[in-house]
Structure 1
Amino acid sequence: MAKIKHHNFLNTVHEVFSDAKRAGVLHLYAGGKSFSGRTIEVKGRELFHFGTTGYLGLEQDTRLKRAAMEAIDKYGTQFPLSKSYISNPLYEELEDHIKEMYGYPIIITKNSTLGHLGVIPSAVDDGDVIILDHQVHWSVQNAAKMLKNRSVPIEMIRHNHLDMLEDKIKKYQYKKQHIWYMADGIYSMYGDYAPVKELLSLAEKYPQLRLYFDDVHGMSWVGRNGTGYVLDQLRELPENVLLFGTLSKTFGASGAVLACSNPQLYDKIKTFGGPLTFSAQLEPASVAAAIASAKIHLSPGIYRLQDELRERIDYFNDCLRLTGLPLIDQNTSPVFYIGTGMPKTGYNFVNRLMHEGFYVNLGIFPAVPVKNTGVRITISRHNQKEEIKALVEAMEHHFPIALEDTHTSIDRVFHAFKLKPGTMGESRAMPKLKVEVHESIEQMDGELWDRYLGGQGVYDGEGLQFLERAFKDNDRKEHNWSFRYVTIKDEKGHPILMTFLSLGLWKDDMLAPAQVSEAIEEERKRDIYHLSSKVLSMGCLFSEGSHMFLDASHSLVDKALALLLETMEKLERQMGGKMTVLRDFDGNTPWHNELYGQGFLRVQMPNSCTVDLQGKQTMENYMGQLSPKNRRHFRKDIQPYLGLVQSKVIATGSSSELLDFKRLFEEVRSRNLGLNTYSFPDRLFEEMNQNPLWEFIVLTPFKDPGPIVGVMFCYINLNRVYVPAFVGMDYDRLETYATYRQLLYRTIERAIGLGIPKIDFGMTATFEKRKLGAVVNEKYAYLQTHDNFILEMLGVMEGQE
């Protein structure tokens, strides 16, 4: 498989969000002339509101509203000065109240995002290291990544995996001054908690450990004076803990707050904190509303509000227990998450609930992994028991229908979230299609296979027999691949879809930038399998081309594709895979939306290259049809070097030649960290050497005929396609002989000599291939991962020294 272009994360997010917008569940506008908090108008319909983050309903409290209006009347809509110069007249009172709430020095920030941007670069020194929980809020991750410019290492651990955290601490305990672990108190999607007490014990064991908590979703509804979940667990705020709370969301106003008991650290952040210094301050109305809320938090009334919310949370939990709905984390926070698995199921479920009169949030990538799409439901004091019960009844009714509508199953949902199988029934009417899965190409009808998938790449029937022999019974696990051949037929036995799959060990950084792979390779000197996973892929790492036959004219083609994806999911589960890859689609595939709906993300691959040799009987004839610019390229950059080397075609190499072939290929592979793969087994080259359909185009210097400077490994597919599968080169003499350009030229020359009408030139180096007449086409792959951890961890590493 050729090098995949490094994917633009923002483009993926844009495509996912655009898909959700088209489904009518994202980027909506609330309507109506007023807002009560209990209901919300969406698309002209009044819905019960189960999507708020104002859990106590204080945003509708008349005391906050009155204070905000009076502040505008007295001080205007804003106070346009930096707080570094002078704060508006209400700020000092607010700071006094918030400090009284926490019992520790505090800093008010415009919002939590700007707060993190100000605090993290100020608190973390150049001699420190940051470790991020995988699910810590994006605003924390984004602020932490700013420190890459100061060469502060940034690591990531799986969500709440304290054993993994301790391993990271041990890695840095004698190298770094402070080790910062950053996490949420309450996580905003699943509503689960940080293990605060266990983290505090870890900090006692390792004095270098400092804890940074974003507890904006734990604020107000729990804890003394409503100061949140984390402080409720800590009881007292140690000097090695920085704690963020919020003055918005449940607090009912606007802004955020940092609590810090370390005097030196507090002074450092307070004196100059980037956005804390230069950003505009809170508007007078927001400050006044926050003062009113703080007074409530400092009164016994806050505990009455907390109790009222807890009663609703308990009631919702009681109702859910009577259903088979996949609740992802059962706890007592006001945040609940019902998993749907595939995005399109989530779209369907949300739309059904809105039609029934309930507004809920869609949980979608990148907030959750694509396969962990679901519905986030938040409970507030606005919600009454009758509508809570009605929501649960609506979910219980519509959830299995949403599964049926989107051709999925409850078992797939539970598997996606690693839950025990549920009891909710389903009644899917499966299309009358037959799926056949074989473990060897020899079990397939060879004529049928070649009719639909032969004539391209290295995967006609003969080529697949060769691959099966080469990638089995090897000593090392990365050299052993499992193959599966999938055929989906209609009732009459006609194939609608055919493809082959492989399961192999991939380096997790295979598609990462070269500098990331370079750093990871240092770790692999100690552990060769560090950051590696089994991947179920359409095609294999050795093949390129259109790996799937699909009868687009068949009436059941959409059902066949959905059935393939379900079959691949089962195979991945059975075979222990961690990611699924569908490859080599063009940019206009009609199944793009379906694949996104099934939880796949699209990444652009390098452009593919083919050469049409129809009617080209001589090399002179072929070169004559190139553009004037490309002919000049040949005369200047290729022709002068042709006389420096001898080109010959070897059908079967000697033992010494085969060793040279392996060595030259390894020179290319080991340097290509942009496509970082494990090596190929020796058996591959031996099988290639013995197979009559493989041959080697070899370049040796005329003046020094002994050493080989370049070799192209070529496969002849059904005498219809010539496939230069990969290349080996001596890098010390690469420029001396223009080796790569010569090998491209000689490959075309050889195909013409054999009378083969087409070359599949594969991917990479499209600029060089285009100059020799290759036609270039865009290609895309679709990836489906169990979670985002590896992708995000590699993203964190990118740009680090």
Structure 2
Amino acid sequence: MAKIKHNNFLDTVDNVIADAKSAGIIHLHAEDSRLSGRYITINGIQCYHFGTTGYLGLEQDSRIKTAAVQAILRYGTQFPLSKTYIAHPLYAQLEEKLELLFNNPVIVTKNSTLGHLAVIPTVVRDEDAVLLDHQVHWSVQNAAQLLKVRGIPVHLIRHNNLEMLESLLKKLSSKVSKIWYMADGVYSMYGDYAPVKELLALSKKYPQLHLYFDDVHGMSWKGKNGMGYVMSQLENLPEHVLVFGTLSKTFGASGSVLVCSNKKLYNQIKNFGGPLTFSAQLEPSAVGAAIASAAIHLSDEIYSLQDELKQRIDYFNRLLSKTKLPLIATNDSPVFYIGTGLPATGYQLVKRLMDGGFFVNLGLFPAVPVKNTGVRITISTHNRFEDIKLLTEALVIHYDKALADTGNSTTRVGKAFRMNFQETPPLPIKHEVLRLEEFTRISEVDKSLWNDTVGKNNMMDWDGLQFLENTFQGQAAQEHNWNFKYLQIMDDLNQPVLMGFVTESLWKNDMLSPPAVSKKLEEQREQNPYAQTSRVLALGCLFTEGKHLYVNSKHPQVNEALACFLEYLEALSQKLEVSLTVLRDFDTGSIWSKTFQNQGYIPIDMPDSCVVFELDQKNDAAYSNYLSKRSQKHFKKDIQPYEELIKMQIISAPGTKTIQLFYGLYKQVKAKNFGLNTFTYPLAVFQNMSKHPNWEFIVLKAKSDDRILGVMFCYKNYSGTYVPSLIGMDYSYLEAFQTYRQLLYQSILRARQLKFTQIDFGVSASFEKRKLGATLIPKQAFLQTDDNFLLEQLEMMRTSN
């Protein structure tokens, strides 16, 4: 079947990051001539520094800095040789100290990202499988992607979900040798921990389970000799557990370190771990600094530093407990996360704090779900107690103001994080003048009002929606029962500011994924028809395409109406407990894009919409005269010669047997179309078409023997828009009669005959439709979900094909 354009996840991320950059809160530059750790200067403002990951302040320790300088003076700025051949003169000393520190063999790597790239493809064998906590650091996920080329199964597990982990262990245990579970020791956004002891217990129950921890955020401030959080949970390091620590961040130097008690694995990694062999080794300055830091870690001084940090963490926790600020995870790590829910609130809060002299980080998509935006604060020994007190006071003041300015509330924040927070002023904006009305049947909506606003588009006129209601309710299968909601927002003069409709229905998660992903999932659905499906609240419905939302952009209260609409959707999605909310089919670059993103929606590219405009002005007998010269060549070669082989018939009310025949042709097309992967419609849809005056069927037959080659299912909108909505074809004759192209062309001829002004050709086969004069309109959708698991799972499947 013809191809369609699919969204690239990287484009979505780029769009979100660009939005944050334009808000002036990321991609910043420190302007200090010297750094102390306590302050950092941004945009001319000296800020208290609450964004470092150097939790113990060792990066400013004079002994470590001196060691780095001396190493440069003695050995140069770098030692440009592969460590496989010969190591820098200081390396042996560093490795000796680190083995004393960890009481286990170690391997030093350039950084954790290269370290994972070296270790993961080496230790994971072709007969193994990998399970990733879906919040594990990007560097681990990226390294695991390399395994897919070798056919190694890689699956995501919901964050710290041991039940889901055990379920997959049972499923995979008979199919693979080892099962590697990969997680962070301390998670960098919320500061929460991996359930290390519970995972060890699970590995005793399932001996195939091997554990791989990235503990770079747990290093130095936790554990004996600063070995880190994970090592602090272990009496000793089992051979089936690998732990990555860091020599940067809290350690105060540069590089990373793998701790491995399994001698066989250790030797394999040491002998040939890709980047270990082919990448440059640590610079002399980094090695010298790491040796000096290791000496501190091996002394009792490390415990004094850990205690200093703990006192500050405890102090901040006590101060926060006296406020109503929504702290997402309460623990004793140096990472704190204050939820804002909406990105707009997060942007404003971070900017307010920076302008007030406090540097903090923003947690935003894709590091966290877009609705779980928040302020990430890190505490270090650089922070004085009075600094922490000032920060808390500023948070209380600016948090409430950020809520007020963005129409947010702590109640909404709590719902976004599935937590209960006591309400604090300000409450959400009240829409006193505007009136939102919700209807569950189109018959309750004024027909003229609807048709003059939303109804001019596609098959979304009043009669078309009544057809959809009657068709997609009371069906046997859950995927064919849709919950319709119509809404209108009126001003005090009873004029519409916004109108539209939404549906709640079951979607395949891969609906807009590349065909290779859908084909793989359809294999799973042979056993479980509802594998990888979700309840979705969507603007419009799966049967319609185009402008589902009427917005009077010139109305003085349009922004208030949009805010009211989005609050309505938020409340409805929570009431219906859907997994995903989708605002569909907006023109790329829509003026509402920023509004949607600020309210917690992420943009994705949709397939192009294909529309033939001003058809009523193309009156020449030969329609091909209106095509470009290039398209005319296509027409003469691929369409015109086949016209003499076929004949076209318009059927308005086909009988039962004919509809069954048409339905069979539709299913042939549906079975091959993975580009837009939806559930197959039931026969009842087509039976209802045959009884509805707005539907007609363009039937293509062979002149020679009346064989039915294909059928186009077309809706006639009252406003003069012709909608070839679905297609059915006999693939036995596809090439011989060029059935698809003929049906497209015959649809144009039929619309001209009816004197219609426009043809909505839908989203597939844009190349073929453009050659017949259709204009391609780039489209976007905006998604909102409670967590990133579904999106990341589909992206992982996409990158494996």
Partner residue in 2 for 1:47: 47
Partner residue in 2 for 1:124: 124
Amino acid at match of 2:380: S
What is the 5 A alignment of 1:279-678? Answer: 279-431=279-431, 432-615=433-616, 620-678=621-679
Corresponding residue SS for 2:352: helix
CA distance in 1, matches of 2:409, 2:614: 49
CA distance in 1, matches of 2:456, 2:17: 39
CA distance in 2, matches of 1:161, 1:667: 41
User: 1:290, CA displacement in angstroms?
Assistant: 0.7
CA distance in 2, matches of 1:343, 1:719: 39
The answer to whether the 8 A contact 2:184-2:214 is kept is yes
CA distance in 2, matches of 1:462, 1:506: 25
User: 1:378, CA displacement in angstroms?
Assistant: 0.5
CA deviation map 1:35-92 (0-9, x unaligned): 1111111111111111110111111111111211221221122112111121111111
CA distance in 2, matches of 1:403, 1:680: 45
Partner residue in 1 for 2:236: 236
CA distance in 2, matches of 1:22, 1:447: 42
The answer to whether the 8 A contact 1:721-1:760 is kept is yes
- Give 4+ residue runs of structure 1 displaced > 6 Å after superposition: none
The answer to whether the 8 A contact 1:485-1:499 is kept is yes
User: 1:630, CA displacement in angstroms?
Assistant: 2.6
The answer to whether the 8 A contact 2:407-2:427 is kept is no
Amino acid at match of 1:648: Q
- With 586-595 and 153-162 compared, the bigger mean Cα shift is at 586-595
Partner residue in 1 for 2:704: 703
CA deviation map 1:199-236 (0-9, x unaligned): 11111111111110000000000101100010110121
CA distance in 1, matches of 2:588, 2:532: 30
CA distance in 1, matches of 2:552, 2:333: 50
- With 365-374 and 420-429 compared, the bigger mean Cα shift is at 420-429
Amino acid at match of 1:93: Q
The answer to whether the 8 A contact 1:312-1:379 is kept is yes
Partner residue in 2 for 1:95: 95
What is the 5 A alignment of 1:20-169? Answer: 20-169=20-169
- With 458-467 and 420-429 compared, the bigger mean Cα shift is at 420-429
The answer to whether the 8 A contact 1:3-1:763 is kept is no
The answer to whether the 8 A contact 2:371-2:416 is kept is yes
Amino acid at match of 1:430: K
How many residues were matched structurally?
A: 799
Amino acid at match of 1:710: G
CA distance in 2, matches of 1:444, 1:515: 42
The answer to whether the 8 A contact 2:472-2:480 is kept is yes
CA distance in 1, matches of 2:395, 2:614: 60
Give unmatched runs, 5+ long, in structure 1: none
CA distance in 2, matches of 1:48, 1:417: 28
User: 1:634, CA displacement in angstroms?
Assistant: 2.2
User: 1:708, CA displacement in angstroms?
Assistant: 2.5
CA distance in 2, matches of 1:575, 1:4: 31
Amino acid at match of 2:674: L
Amino acid at match of 2:430: M
The answer to whether the 8 A contact 2:4-2:763 is kept is no
CA deviation map 1:243-292 (0-9, x unaligned): 10000000011100000000100000001111111111111111111111
CA distance in 1, matches of 2:152, 2:16: 32
User: 1:421, CA displacement in angstroms?
Assistant: 3.6
The answer to whether the 8 A contact 2:9-2:795 is kept is no
CA distance in 1, matches of 2:799, 2:350: 39
CA distance in 1, matches of 2:617, 2:439: 40
User: 1:799, CA displacement in angstroms?
Assistant: 4.5
CA distance in 1, matches of 2:616, 2:563: 41
CA distance in 1, matches of 2:712, 2:754: 16
The answer to whether the 8 A contact 1:221-1:306 is kept is yes
Corresponding residue SS for 2:257: strand
What is the 5 A alignment of 1:715-726? Answer: 715-718=715-718, 720-726=720-726
Amino acid at match of 2:349: F
The answer to whether the 8 A contact 1:4-1:605 is kept is no
Amino acid at match of 1:296: I
User: 1:750, CA displacement in angstroms?
Assistant: 1.1
CA distance in 2, matches of 1:575, 1:729: 38
CA distance in 2, matches of 1:615, 1:523: 48
Partner residue in 2 for 1:201: 201
Corresponding residue SS for 2:639: helix
The answer to whether the 8 A contact 1:5-1:605 is kept is yes
Amino acid at match of 2:507: W
Give unmatched runs, 5+ long, in structure 2: none
Amino acid at match of 1:642: E
User: 1:612, CA displacement in angstroms?
Assistant: 3.3
CA distance in 2, matches of 1:326, 1:284: 45
User: 1:164, CA displacement in angstroms?
Assistant: 0.8
CA distance in 2, matches of 1:300, 1:310: 16
Partner residue in 2 for 1:713: 713
User: 1:375, CA displacement in angstroms?
Assistant: 0.6
User: 1:626, CA displacement in angstroms?
Assistant: 2.6
CA distance in 2, matches of 1:584, 1:723: 16
Corresponding residue SS for 1:337: strand
User: 1:103, CA displacement in angstroms?
Assistant: 0.7
CA distance in 1, matches of 2:322, 2:423: 11
Corresponding residue SS for 1:376: strand
The answer to whether the 8 A contact 1:3-1:511 is kept is no
What is the 5 A alignment of 1:650-799? Answer: 650-705=651-706, 707-718=707-718, 720-799=720-799
User: 1:621, CA displacement in angstroms?
Assistant: 4.0
User: 1:427, CA displacement in angstroms?
Assistant: 4.2
User: 1:779, CA displacement in angstroms?
Assistant: 1.6
User: 1:616, CA displacement in angstroms?
Assistant: 5.2
CA distance in 2, matches of 1:785, 1:529: 19
The answer to whether the 8 A contact 1:38-1:382 is kept is yes
Corresponding residue SS for 1:784: strand
CA distance in 1, matches of 2:341, 2:257: 36
CA distance in 1, matches of 2:164, 2:769: 46
Q: What TM-score, normalized to structure 2?
A: 0.98
Amino acid at match of 2:483: S
Corresponding residue SS for 1:692: coil
CA distance in 1, matches of 2:334, 2:670: 52
CA deviation map 1:159-194 (0-9, x unaligned): 011111111111211111111110000000010000
User: 1:701, CA displacement in angstroms?
Assistant: 2.1
Compared CA separation, residues 97 and 683, structure 1 to 2 (3 A)? same
Corresponding residue SS for 2:554: coil
CA distance in 1, matches of 2:556, 2:617: 40
CA deviation map 1:293-351 (0-9, x unaligned): 11111111111111111111111111111111111111111101111111111100001
The answer to whether the 8 A contact 2:145-2:800 is kept is no
Corresponding residue SS for 1:675: coil
The answer to whether the 8 A contact 1:349-1:398 is kept is yes
CA deviation map 1:520-549 (0-9, x unaligned): 122212211111111111111100111111
User: 1:433, CA displacement in angstroms?
Assistant: 1.8
CA distance in 1, matches of 2:428, 2:480: 40
CA distance in 2, matches of 1:165, 1:557: 47
User: 1:788, CA displacement in angstroms?
Assistant: 1.1
